Amino acid sequence: MLPLPPNHSITVDPAGPYRDQTGVNAPRDFAEYRTTALRHPKQPLILLPQRLTEITGPVLGEGRVTAADADLTLVNGGEAQGQRIIVHGRVLDSDGKAVPDTLVEVWQANAGGRYRHAGDTWPAPLDPHFDGVGRVLTDSAGNYRFTTIKPGAYPWGNHHNAWRPAHIHFSLFGQAFTQRLVTQMYFPDDPMFFQDPIFNSAPEDARARMISAFDYEATQDNWALGFRFDIVLRGRNATPFEGDDHDD
């Protein structure tokens, strides 16, 4: 017999509290990205009212992140090849509220577009001083920042002459299971966007939110180029946030 929970009824908002804005995410069946073909449900998803398991989530980071995890360019006693960059921004929810103290995980290819992974066989050299993994926590205002090198573009087998635009993978938790987000950060004016089905799987109006902005203010003289990438998780209101005071 399971122990009965305390007699404490909760309220459930069938549509929340955390909601996706409309027109944000890709259709799960996106034919041009061929691997989706056998990996998407054919049956309609079932609406799960958000109860205790959904409105809570892991609080991670303590003991999981060191200062060195914020610099991907210093590995194995040497410096990574490539264009040194600083990537920074804020993690917010779609109500415009900062998400403090949340774990941000990143991984990426090296300057030649090669991943340190047994499954990556394209003939660009590995860099002994680049692993391509970083972890940071946002501060109390939701800011994060790390130093890395600009990843290269690389070919893949999706279609003839298919190339992924340069990108950095981002993984975010937010404060609830329902806020979890894995996305990719792209670079401004990448000439490879036009033929990439992963980037273009996102609805047209939302795509540009995945493109970082060159940030001269964050660029450090004689050291590194700056890029800004603000990440917006689902919030508690489905209607888009109006106004610009989300920016600092």
List the catalytic residues: 115, 154, 164, 167, 169
β-sheet bridge partners, residue 106: 134, 170
Per-residue tokens: 162: 């298919």
Residue 117 vs 159, nearer CB to another protein: 117
Residue 226 and residue 213 in contact, taking contact as beta carbons nearer than 8 Å: no
Q: For the CB of residue 139, give the shortest distance to another protein in the complex, in Å.
A: 18
Residue 77 vs 160, nearer CB to another protein: 77
Select from 223, 56, 83 the least CA-distant residue to 148.
83
The alpha carbon of residue 191 and the mean position of all alpha carbons in its chain are separated, in whole angstroms, by: 21
Residue 119 vs 123, nearer CB to another protein: 119
Q: Strand ranges (DSSP E) for 66-193?
A: 74-75, 78-79, 84-93, 103-108, 133-137, 143-149, 154-156, 162-164, 167-172, 181-186
Residue 139 vs 180, nearer CB to another protein: 180
Residue 139 vs 200, nearer CB to another protein: 200
Q: For the CB of residue 234, give the shortest distance to another protein in the complex, in Å.
A: 6
Q: For the CB of residue 105, give the shortest distance to another protein in the complex, in Å.
A: 5
Residue 134 and residue 69 in contact, taking contact as beta carbons nearer than 8 Å: yes
Residue 37 and residue 79 in contact, taking contact as beta carbons nearer than 8 Å: no
Select from 59, 51, 54 the least CA-distant residue to 5.
51
Omega of the bond leading into 17 within 30 degrees of 0 (cis): yes
Across 37-58, b (16+ Cβ under 10 Å) vs e yields eeeeeeeeeeeeebeeebbebe
